[in-house]
Chain A
Amino acid sequence: MKTSRHFPLKIYLFIVLMVILGPLGNVLLGKGMKHIGTTSSWSLSGLIHLVARLSGSGVIWLGLLCLMAFFAVYMLVLSWADYSYVQPASAVAYALVALMGHFLLGEVVTPVRWAGVLIICLGVLVVGHTPPRTTESRG
């Protein structure tokens, strides 16, 4: 089994960045979409109208910026570690989403849902104890 022992700290740091940028982008988009509302039709004109409304929202732009930064970091992490490592490891984001949904958007998060978030975090810890990279580069 090939493992990446050269960049573990770098992988963790970039996963932390992913965990911050992804949920932040989602929360901002959630906030923006709540304000804009749903599209009434999936026709071309309906979608154009939706895009026009989206492009006029500063919150949506900020959310998109966060998600673009998230994606750049995500690409870097995937160049160092397995997808089956990065995907569950980034699940810590769910705790952040619940926290931000609760504190920023005033959403109700029940105790059972908090328990779910904790188990997700436990799962992430278990995955975090496996080798980050098990494949060779295909390049």
Chain B
Amino acid sequence: MNLSRPDRAEALAAEYVLGTLRGRARARFERALDTDRALGDAVRSWEERLLPLAEALTPVAPPDRVWRAIQARLQTARTPATSFWSSMSVWRGLALASLAVVVVLATLLLRPTAERGEGAVIAVLATKDAKASLVASADRFGRYLTIKAIERIDVPADRSLQLWMLPAGGNPQSLGVIETTTLARVALSAPADQALRNIPALAVSLEPRGGSPTGLPTGPVLYSGPVQRTY
């Protein structure tokens, strides 16, 4: 492809935009576009000339699933800061009514050790649409948190679920990667009532296998919920 002659470059740019430049010639032209600024300008001029013609087409509304698929694709690619805190606002908006349901549910699912009368710390983690999915619980003076999946959760082989404490006004702190196929346990740095004292909520995010490489959530928050105390 000889692009050194301006008239040739111009003609190829026109056919590129029209769509008749095809096959390997198109691929070669695109590679040349990456480095050749004049060629890029020629393409842009042709786009401005030809593409407005497309406005004559009668619009056709795409099916809703296209937008849903776009959103799903972006969920997994989003940057930590925005995705995390925007997801967090979701559980804050949960109605009190659903919270009540959730606490009852949590009590039912509590492991027997938590019923010794000394009190427990419980968090029911729900999806964005308020579907309770995981229960995290600990004895008030226990040194570990038990996590139980309410229903089967399938995690892709190259991903892990990671549990986080969400301190009021601070960065999320990792409690570790959790398995959902069995009862998961994560160790706490202190008895639960102390370790979770200033933690209003817990959340689980989808991370690369083995957990977030950055120490902060990088993937979408799948589940979150407020920390409740029964003492």
- A, B in one complex: no
Binding site for A on B (CB under 8 A): none
Binding site for B on A (CB under 8 A): none
